[in-house]
Amino acid sequence: MRNRRRASIDYDYYRLLEIFESEPRVLDEEVEIYQYAKTDRFGFTLSLHLSRLEDTAIVTLEHRDLPGALFDHIEHGVVKLVCADDDSLHFFRERDLHVANPGLAPEPVLTVLTKHQFRIEIKTD
């Protein structure tokens, strides 16, 4: 029996299925790397790669008529992915979840909006 580290990115698998409207593509089952992708009516494709064992999320935005990615962002240290009711994705690092003031809600390091049109917001430190 192999000694494997427990996957640490916390997310709702079924909500991701709803948002991306398909099962994830398994890129590497051994190290738990999954790809979700969704194409909108304008030809933009939003891809989400989750490396659960490395706590890494990669968000890529491409267009079918353009070579290469329009946007490619790697976020390390992701421990939680929240899928909101408006189909937005909110990525949190450990330090984002431990806010000094309990009255403040934690701010995601990355937010991806998936309804109507794709939009990506990155928190800068």
CA–CA dist 76, 38 (Å, integer):
22
Q: How many other CB atoms sit within 10 Å of the CB of residue 57?
A: 24
- CA 17 centroid distance within chain: 12
What does the pLDDT read at residue 45?
94
pLDDT beneath 70: ranges in the chain: 1-7, 99-103, 125
Domain coordinates in residue numbering, the chain: 13-122
> What's the pLDDT score for residue 93?
86
How far does CA 120 lie from the centroid of its chain? 11
pLDDT score recorded for residue 3: 45
Per-residue pLDDT reduced to its tens digit, 49-73: 999 888 899 999 999 999 999 999 9
Report pLDDT for 118: 87
Residue 107 has a CB neighbour count (10 Å cut-off) of 12
Name the pTM for this structure: 0.82
